Amino acid sequence: MSYFAHPTAVIDLPCTIGDGTKIWHFAHICSGVVVGRNCSFGQNVMVANNVIIGNHVKVQNNVAIYTGTVVEDDVFLGPSCVLTNVSNPRSQVDRHCLYEKTLLRRGATVGANATLVCGVTMGRYCFISAGAVVTRDVPDYALMTGVPARQTGWMSRHGHILKPDATGVMQCPESKFYYKEVQPGIVRCLDLDEEAPLPPELAIGKRSYREFKT
């Protein structure tokens, strides 16, 4: 098995691209990039030199992933979201040796047109809403909305808002997994380790988000 690249895609060697990965129209993978297995890069995506991307990452159209970015497994980058690598850019000042690290941890979602100011860490399974502007680190499972982004709740691994019961336990309506804020600002799943893959029967959605809200 190998990867697929559309004839219009540009792949600069040397780079490493895992089996099953798909690179679509007019995408550009620069040299030194490491991409895992079963990823998808939509139209007009650019991945800059030496970026590291894990397995099963989905990058939608018109996203640029700049040098200094590390993307762990199962991350979703929505259409036209923005990542940066210099906090104080000036055309007159060369800061190529000062690129800041942005880390997107396992399972994080970045919504369409959201912006991540560089030098931040997106926690595991956090959910950055469309159009939000993130300027600081985000905890695991945090729901971030607005400009600048503020935490407005917790999201399950399946992408549902979690609401605590009288004991503080929260249940995902789709997976039925339980979650709890084990320490102030730290949420953990009580049924599945954060680094464990989803069971196959829970890895395919069967009902839309709006169906769960009714």
**Burial annotation 75-105 (CB, 10 A radius, 16+ → b, else e):** bbbbbbbbbbbbeeeeeeeeeeeebbebbbb
In degrees, rounded to 5, the angle at the alpha carbon of residue 147 between the alpha carbons of residues 138 and 137 is 15
The alpha carbons of the chain give a radius of gyration, in whole angstroms, of 18
> Is residue 209 within a helix (H) or strand (E), and if so which, with residue range?
helix 209-213
Share of the chain above pLDDT 90, in %: 95
CATH code: domain 66-158 is: 2.160.10.10
116 and 123 Cβ atoms separated by less than 8 Å: no
2 and 11 Cβ atoms separated by less than 8 Å: no
> Mind listing the pLDDT tens digit for each residue in 10-54?
999 999 999 999 999 999 999 999 999 999 999 999 999 999 999
Please compute the mean of the pLDDT values over residues 119-137 and round it to a whole number: 98
The yes-or-no verdict on residue 7 having pLDDT over 70 is yes
Predicted local confidence at residue 213, as pLDDT: 79
The chain-wide mean pLDDT, for the chain, equals 96
The yes-or-no verdict on residue 133 having pLDDT over 60 is yes
More confidently predicted of 97 and 53: 53
Does the pTM surpass 0.75? The reply is yes
Q: Given pLDDT bands bounded at 50, 70 and 90, which one contains residue 1? A: low
53 and 68 Cβ atoms separated by less than 8 Å: no
81 and 63 Cβ atoms separated by less than 8 Å: yes
> Mind listing the pLDDT tens digit for each residue in 75-91?
999 999 999 999 999 99
